[in-house]
Amino acid sequence: MSSQIRAPKGVPEYVPPQSGRFLTVREALSTPARKAGYGYIELPVFEDTALFERGVGESTDVVSKEMYTFTDRGDRSISLRPEGTAGVMRSVLENGMHRGGLPVKLWYAGPFFRAERPQHGRYRQLQQVGVEAIGSDDPALDAEVVALADQAFRDVGLRDYTLHLNSLGCAQCRPGYSARLREFLAGCDLDEATLIRAQVNPLRVLDDKRPEVQDQVASAPLPVDDLCAECAHHYDETRRYLTDLGVSWQESPRLVRGLDYYTRTAFEFTHDGLGAQSGIGGGGRYDGLMSALGGPELSGIGFGLGVDRTLLAAEAEGLELADGAQVRCFCIPLGDDARHVTVGLLGRLRAAGVGADMAFDSRGLKGAMKAADRSGARFALIIGEEEIAARAVMVRDLLEGTQEPVPLDEVVDRMMGSAR
């Protein structure tokens, strides 16, 4: 016998009933954006590698170490998308969406791929729900995007999470700040790799979670203390709008995101029940990204919410999530004659929009009742010889434990009524 093939390492699978809860979470995470005027965008799962090198940044871990890159049959370098923002920007440009009304507001959902070391909550295929709002500097839009993420987590039912907020400055004030930080870091006692990182991308060192690095950078200059007047005003306004929206946050002046495109507003949501991989979502502004991809100078802001981690967070909080069971009636034929009547009834129930399933393979009443319970149905519709003779169906209410015969030609209407 040949050996069994298993799913690739670090790739989570969702099978019933867990997959139903996964869908419930994904739906809840995307609903606030849909209701706020964001249109759906379905993006390619793989893109030209250069898109991520230019968009996300060659020095980021995500691009330099974690991308699934391969040469296709036409000798092109292709990468599985590690994130969604760069692809959205490419698509907006390619489809000329930015020439219509601004901001362009889009949402997306699906799998992303990062060759990280797998652990609890850290996967190589991860699922996100994301939004991008392109073409506006308005701080009310920053607040909208942050508030939509907050609402999304609340709609799932989460309580034990924190919103961390920071501002990272812009193309005007960041270079001066980065130079000051580089100078500070050069005088610190850091290991070789961190010193190199301090030169290439000094902001990342601020966010290094290792205690020995945190000690060293405790007195480092912070981005918020070095903002230009426009950035400082933008950050103040963003926070005022967040207050208007009733969102609470924690100032996190060392928060730096793992992707290179961020400017000004940066935010992250962390959950207390997840251990090391506590980030359930994050995002920020990326005012230079569009022009870096060859487009006009259009700013933007967005977020990516981790569906896998939100599901883990919901489980950690003990939330009861609907598993999306759709079957309302479970039809049970007893005997060969009943099977044709049952199949006909099943077809009529489904055509009328009533969720319905049936017991296959003639397993007898006991096995069929077990299957009815597993299906999540409210009613078992039993058809035996007696029922056929009386042109009736025995309708058993699985919740109340009661049953009554209903005429065969009335049962669909009855089930439609009970579905309401």
Could you tell me which residues come within 8 angstroms of residue 60 by beta carbon, excluding any fewer than 6 positions away? 201, 258, 259, 260
- Is 53:81 a contact under the CB 8 Å cutoff? no
Q: Residue 36: which of 176, 206, 202, 150 has the closest Cα?
A: 150
Segment 227-266, which members bind ligand HAM (CB under 6 A)? 258-259
- Of the candidates 32, 135, 281, 376, which one interacts with ligand HAM according to CB under 6 A? 281
- As beta bridge partners, residue 133 has 105, 301
The least CB distance from residue 10 to ligand HAM, in Å, is 8
**Applying CB under 6 A, does 284 fall inside the site for ligand HAM?**
yes
Segment 304-333, which members bind ligand HAM (CB under 6 A)? 304, 306, 308-309
- Is 93:295 a contact under the CB 8 Å cutoff? yes
Closest residue by beta carbon to ligand HAM:
306
Q: Which is nearer to ligand HAM, 57 or 284 (CB)?
A: 284
Q: Which is nearer to ligand HAM, 63 or 394 (CB)?
A: 63
The least CB distance from residue 288 to ligand HAM, in Å, is 13
- Of the candidates 30, 79, 128, 375, which one interacts with ligand HAM according to CB under 6 A? 128
**Applying CB under 6 A, does 103 fall inside the site for ligand HAM?**
no
Q: Which is nearer to ligand HAM, 301 or 369 (CB)?
A: 301
Could you tell me which residues come within 8 angstroms of residue 174 by beta carbon, excluding any fewer than 6 positions away? 168, 223, 263
Q: Which is nearer to ligand HAM, 57 or 279 (CB)?
A: 279
Dihedral, 134, 138, 143, 148 alpha carbons, nearest 10 = -30
CB atoms within 10 A of CB 226: 17
**Applying CB under 6 A, does 355 fall inside the site for ligand HAM?**
no
Which tokens go with 47?
């893109």
CB under 6 A: which stretch of 71-79, 214-222, 297-305, 406-414 binds ligand HAM? 297-305
CB under 6 A: which stretch of 121-129, 217-225, 347-355, 401-409 binds ligand HAM? 121-129
Q: Which is nearer to ligand HAM, 130 or 223 (CB)?
A: 130
CB under 6 A: which stretch of 82-90, 147-155, 197-205, 380-388 binds ligand HAM? 82-90
Q: Which is nearer to ligand HAM, 122 or 348 (CB)?
A: 122
**Applying CB under 6 A, does 288 fall inside the site for ligand HAM?**
no
**Applying CB under 6 A, does 387 fall inside the site for ligand HAM?**
no
CB under 6 A: which stretch of 43-51, 94-102, 127-135, 212-220 binds ligand HAM? 127-135
- Of the candidates 83, 260, 287, 357, which one interacts with ligand HAM according to CB under 6 A? 83
**Applying CB under 6 A, does 357 fall inside the site for ligand HAM?**
no
CB under 6 A: which stretch of 40-48, 186-194, 301-309, 402-410 binds ligand HAM? 301-309
The least CB distance from residue 144 to ligand HAM, in Å, is 13
- Of the candidates 279, 288, 333, 376, which one interacts with ligand HAM according to CB under 6 A? 279
Size of the site for ligand HAM (CB under 6 A): 26
Q: Secondary structure of 83-152 in the HEC alphabet?
A: CCHHHHHHHHHHCCHHHCCCCEEEEEEEEEECCCCCECCECCEEEEEEEEEECCCCHHHHHHHHHHHHHH
CB under 6 A: which stretch of 125-133, 195-203, 209-217, 347-355 binds ligand HAM? 125-133
Q: Which is nearer to ligand HAM, 254 or 328 (CB)?
A: 254
The least CB distance from residue 41 to ligand HAM, in Å, is 12
Q: How far apart are CA 337 and CA 290, in angstroms?
A: 67
The least CB distance from residue 3 to ligand HAM, in Å, is 28
- Interface residues with ligand HAM (CB under 6 A)? 83-85, 114, 116, 121-123, 126, 128, 130, 132, 258-259, 279-284, 302-304, 306, 308-309
